[in-house]
């Protein structure tokens, strides 16, 4: 189900930094991925670490973050023009004043290529790869702290990315709308904003709207509906009593993932040893290893 790899060709990898991304979790997730499936569906695209890992031949990718989806579409359709725009930003990667000037600029006055280049530049030079917007939907993450000027983009990887996403369908959509398109044999991977481990750990600012427990419950209903249609579903979330209770009636695998660094935490000392849940609706090698306390 994966795209064929051409000898000597660079294998595409995520081109954005994304807080909460799954690059560190891929080794733990690999045993859960089925060897065959019809179409790959990812309703919470983010940086796309799992998509780039699997590189499926057919994919439906979506996110509620319109700016993020636009970046993927520009990479897909206008990568050469995007590279030219990024080349104009790269010399300013360590320029704090340039960062804030570009952050304050109105994206509606730009072309889609210029907006995508702005998005990538801010993403690579902001604090910790965080994407956060205020109530007006304006990006408001501060300038990052880097010992050396960050590389805004990698030429070979961006071109390889354009090839990998060339056949993907990209949508700005609510997760339920995307999941409604799943049919028997499709593989859905879900990486929603996590249920907070504590009241002070709540971060759902990827868009101007929040993702609270009502949304978690709505996601479970979409999970259930996709299961009934015969789709294969894998979900990651926090190991909380709420999430365990939410999925308690499903014949699913719950497996702890220990030792994962949660890079979204501003305190490095608090990023280690967090247990997460991997929930599936199909049998895997972990089917006899339910998550325990």
Supply the DSSP string of 190-258, one letter for each residue.
E-PPPPPSSGGG---TTSSS---HHHHHHHHHHHHHHHHTT-EEEEEEE--HHHHHHTTTS--EEEEEE
* 130 and 184 part of one domain: no
> Does residue 30 belong to any structural domain of this protein?
yes
First CA to last CA across the chain, in angstroms? Answer: 36
* 208 and 247 part of one domain: yes
Least confident of 11-25, 139-153, 267-281: 267-281
The upper half-sphere exposure of residue 116, i.e. CA atoms within 13 Å in the direction of its Cβ, equals 25
* 42 and 104 part of one domain: no
Of the residues 160, 175, 192, the one at which a domain ends:
160
> In the prediction, which pLDDT does 269 show?
43
For residue 38, the surrounding DSSP H or E stretch is none
> Does residue 243 belong to any structural domain of this protein?
yes
Query: By three-state DSSP, how is residue 173 classified?
Result: coil
Regarding predicted confidence, which is higher, 35 or 260? Answer: 35
**CA–CA gap between residue 6 and residue 55 (Å, rounded):** 13
Regarding predicted confidence, which is higher, 21 or 115? Answer: 115
Of the residues 116, 132, 160, the one at which a domain ends:
160
For residue 275, the surrounding DSSP H or E stretch is strand 274-280
pLDDT above 90 covers a percentage of the chain that reads 63
> In the prediction, which pLDDT does 254 show?
58
* 77 and 222 part of one domain: no
Least confident of 94-108, 151-165, 205-219, 265-279: 265-279
Interval 154-174 mean pLDDT: 97
> Does residue 208 belong to any structural domain of this protein?
yes
Regarding predicted confidence, which is higher, 63 or 292? Answer: 63
> In the prediction, which pLDDT does 274 show?
64
> Does residue 262 belong to any structural domain of this protein?
yes
Regarding predicted confidence, which is higher, 96 or 203? Answer: 96
Residue 214 sits at φ, ψ, to 5 deg, of -65, -40
> Mean pLDDT in the chain?
86
> In the prediction, which pLDDT does 276 show?
84
**CA–CA gap between residue 286 and residue 292 (Å, rounded):** 13
Instruction: Supply 291's token pair.
Output: 């998550």
* 99 and 137 part of one domain: yes
* 41 and 80 part of one domain: no
Query: By three-state DSSP, how is residue 89 classified?
Result: helix
Convert 214-231 to b/e letters by CB count within 10 Å (16 or more is b).
ebbeebbebbeebbeeeb
**CA–CA gap between residue 211 and residue 130 (Å, rounded):** 16
**Count of domains for the chain:** 2
* 152 and 211 part of one domain: no
Residue 91 belongs to what domain range? 71-160
* 48 and 140 part of one domain: no
pTM (predicted TM-score): 0.87
> Does residue 234 belong to any structural domain of this protein?
yes
Beta-strand pair 59-63/232-238: unpaired
* 180 and 269 part of one domain: yes
**CA–CA gap between residue 277 and residue 289 (Å, rounded):** 12
Least confident of 57-61, 216-220, 245-249, 260-264: 260-264
């Amino acid at each position: 189900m994966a795209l064929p790899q051409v000898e000597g060709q660079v294998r595409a990898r995520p081109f954005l930094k994304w807080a909460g991304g799954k690059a560190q979790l891929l080794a733990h997730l690999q045993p859960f991925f089925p060897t065959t499936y019809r179409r790959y569906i990812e309703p919470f695209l983010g940086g796309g670490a799992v998509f780039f890992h699997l590189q499926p031949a057919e994919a439906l990718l979506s996110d509620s973050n319109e700016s993020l989806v636009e970046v993927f579409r520009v990479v897909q359709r206008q990568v050469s023009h995007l590279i030219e725009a990024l080349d104009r930003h790269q010399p300013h990667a360590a320029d704090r004043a340039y960062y804030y000037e570009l952050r304050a600029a109105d994206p509606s006055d730009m072309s889609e290529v210029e907006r995508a280049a702005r998005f990538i530049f801010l993403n690579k030079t902001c604090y910790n790869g965080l994407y956060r917007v205020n109530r007006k939907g304006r990006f408001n993450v501060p300038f990052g702290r880097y010992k050396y000027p960050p590389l805004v983009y990698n030429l070979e990887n961006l071109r390889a990315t354009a090839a990998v996403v060339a056949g993907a369908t990209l949508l700005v959509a609510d997760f339920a709308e995307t999941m409604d398109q799943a049919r028997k044999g499709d593989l859905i991977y879900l990486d929603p904003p996590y249920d907070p481990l504590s009241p002070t750990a709540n971060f759902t600012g990827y868009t101007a709207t929040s993702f609270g427990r009502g949304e978690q419950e709505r996601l479970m209903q979409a999970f259930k509906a996709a299961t009934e249609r015969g789709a294969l579903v894998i979900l990651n979330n926090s190991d909380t009593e709420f999430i365990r209770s939410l999925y308690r009636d499903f014949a699913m695998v719950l497996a702890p993932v220990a030792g994962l660094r949660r890079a979204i935490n501003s305190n490095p000392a608090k990023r280690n040893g967090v247990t997460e849940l991997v929930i599936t609706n199909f049998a895997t090698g972990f089917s006899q290893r339910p998550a325990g306390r």
